[in-house]
Structure 1
Amino acid sequence: MELRIQHLSKQYSNGVQALNDISLTIPAGMFGLLGPNGAGKSTLMRTLATLQDADSGTAHLDAIDIRTHKDDIRRLLGYLPQDFGLYPKVSAYDLLEHFALLKGIDNRKERKEVVEALLHQTNLYNVKNKHVGGFSGGMRQRFGIAQALIGNPKLIIVDEPTAGLDPEERVRFHNLLSDIGNDKIVILSTHIVEDVADLCNNMAVINKGQVILKGQPLPLIDSIQGKIWKRFIEKSELTQFQQNYSVISSRLTSGRTLIHVYADHQPADGFTQAHGNLEDVYFAAMAGLLKTDVHVNHNSNVRVA
């Protein structure tokens, strides 16, 4: 199972170029699509989910053309959009059964088995008779995954699934996603770096409608080791350091400003080397400092191009 995206572009009527020549090959397993709000992630997800057409380019799930065979794709698709509306006064069981019926599971016994299995899988069985309008944010997201899994889809798209979740629900949701299985393509679209670091074997960074980095998280992290430097500074010094060095991030730590700088060698006295992580990879890519395509070929040899 493989999803091949080739030269997808999309411009909206207001002139915004949401996608600009996007090309990606996504294998089975968890794939992270990382980028800031407004980067084009949701546009790409809606296009792959057959909710809108691109202006140009193609996308194929194995041999199936997503643009010309929408019904075939929809039979294989599970989708959890960023804004997932629910009927608030319907119980979780009844609403999931309704979705199963819409998905084509006409046999009542089979539908009951599917619904109950999914409620157990998402840890919602004990609240199956509760109205979904009374669900917490995490419960709503788990219900969203339950409906996305109806029909045993081969392509699952989840768009910003952990935004707004508390830490406990976020961990629970991560565990749920990791259990979905490696025989499916699961695209996790998010602006949260930790989600990709925790879950994904392959990833891409998208910004302003373009793919600016793609590869596997661990080789990407390895590629920046020795190039990330840290230093505590006064907040008033930040602008000066940004002018003189390639500052990729700054944050308050215990009331002090900690900066990370991308450089091949120690930028100046006072800097110490930091162990780079996926957040550093992301910020370096967003700053235009990292344009490395790191991946593993079929012989599992890392290639840096």
Structure 2
Amino acid sequence: MKLIIDNLSKTYANGIEALQNVSLEIPKGMFGLLGPNGAGKSTLMRTIATLQEADSGTVALGDINVLKQKNELRQVLGYLPQQFGLYPKISAEVLLNHFAVLKGITNKSERKNLVKALLHKTNLYDVRKQNLKGYSGGMKQRFGIAQALLNNPKLLIVDEPTAGLDPVERNRFYNVLSELGEHTVVILSTHIVDDVKELCTNMAIINQGQVCLKGNPLQILEELKGKVYKKTIEKSELSFYKQNYKVISEKLFLGKPTIHILSDVNPRDGFTLINAELEDVYFSEIFNHSNSKSI
């Protein structure tokens, strides 16, 4: 089963073109959707999840016309939005059981076993009796993951899922998603490059409502081989280098900026060739796309 998105567009009433002819083919497994805040990721996720209408285009999950057969899609959808509310005075166990009822799991014994299994999977079983108002941000996020898995979804959408998770919780979440990706179409929408690097066999980068790049992360990295250079400079020199080189990223190291540039030839001038990372791919695509839009 594949998710096929074809020429999807959405313009809001204020004139912002959130999606511009977005086309993607997403097979079973982990698919990473990378982009900066405001790139259109959440708009795309909400549209696929049938929470808002598109202006034009089509979305299909197997035989399901997502934009027209919304109830059919919701029966096989798991969704963890970027922000979600919880009832603070109810325990995780009670609320997850309630959500299971709403999902149509009417057999009490089956529901009990499912809730128990998901609480274990998300490492919440020991605090299952605790009211949700006492949960940390990471614990609430893990509860959101648990509710998204209640109906054993064929399509799972997770929007900025690792926000608020510490490194241990993030690794646990990675393991859960990797396991699910063996049998499910999983879309991981994020601006955190490491999430995609750790998990995804396919990815796309979206910026200003348009798909800039799509493909296999390793193959994409190969295309940047021999083109990324770095140099540590003085802060006062940063403006000069931005004007004269394709600076795709900058980080402080011991108080000084270390810049990465994109160049087809060796720029010399103290630059060192480095192995491209997925973060370099991300920044280079955002750089190129933003510059092409401004011309």
| TM-score range for the pair, normalised by the shorter chain length | over 0.9
Q: Is 1:141 paired with 2:148?
A: no
Aligned to 2:293: none
TM-score with structure 1 length normalisation?
0.93
Conserved? CA contact 2:205–2:212, under 8 Å: yes
Structural RMSD (CA): 1.2
Aligned to 2:250: 250
Aligned to 1:128: 128
Distance in 2 (CA, whole Å) between partners of 1:288 and 1:273 is: 20
Shift of 1:222: 1.2
Shift of 1:168: 2.8
Q: Alignment partner of 1:213: what SS?
A: strand
Q: Alignment partner of 1:288: what SS?
A: helix
Shift of 1:19: 0.5
Q: Which range is displaced more, 75-84 or 132-141?
A: 132-141
Which whole-Å deviations, capped at 9, do the CAs of 1:53-108 have from their partners, x for residues lacking one? Answer: 10000000011100110000000000000001100110010000000000001111
Q: Which range is displaced more, 163-172 or 10-19?
A: 163-172
Q: Is 1:64 paired with 2:64?
A: yes
Aligned counterparts, 1:151-190, within 5 A: 151-190=151-190
Shift of 1:109: 1.2
Distance in 2 (CA, whole Å) between partners of 1:289 and 1:81 is: 27
Aligned to 1:284: 284
Q: Number of aligned pairs?
A: 290
- Unmatched tracts of structure 2, length 5 or more: 291-295
Residue type of the alignment partner of 2:173:
F
Residue type of the alignment partner of 2:25:
T
Residue type of the alignment partner of 1:59:
V
Conserved? CA contact 2:33–2:189, under 8 Å: yes
Aligned to 1:53: 53
Shift of 1:31: 0.4
Conserved? CA contact 2:212–2:289, under 8 Å: no
Q: Alignment partner of 2:242: what SS?
A: helix
Conserved? CA contact 1:138–1:173, under 8 Å: no
Shift of 1:113: 1.3
Conserved? CA contact 1:138–1:170, under 8 Å: no
Distance in 2 (CA, whole Å) between partners of 1:166 and 1:255 is: 26
Distance in 2 (CA, whole Å) between partners of 1:57 and 1:221 is: 30
Residue type of the alignment partner of 1:93:
E
Residue type of the alignment partner of 1:88:
P
Q: Alignment partner of 2:139: what SS?
A: helix
Distance in 2 (CA, whole Å) between partners of 1:136 and 1:216 is: 35
Q: Which range is displaced more, 175-184 or 18-27?
A: 175-184
Conserved? CA contact 2:224–2:276, under 8 Å: yes
Q: Which runs of 4+ in 1 moved over 4 A?
A: none
Distance in 1 (CA, whole Å) between partners of 2:100 and 2:289 is: 47
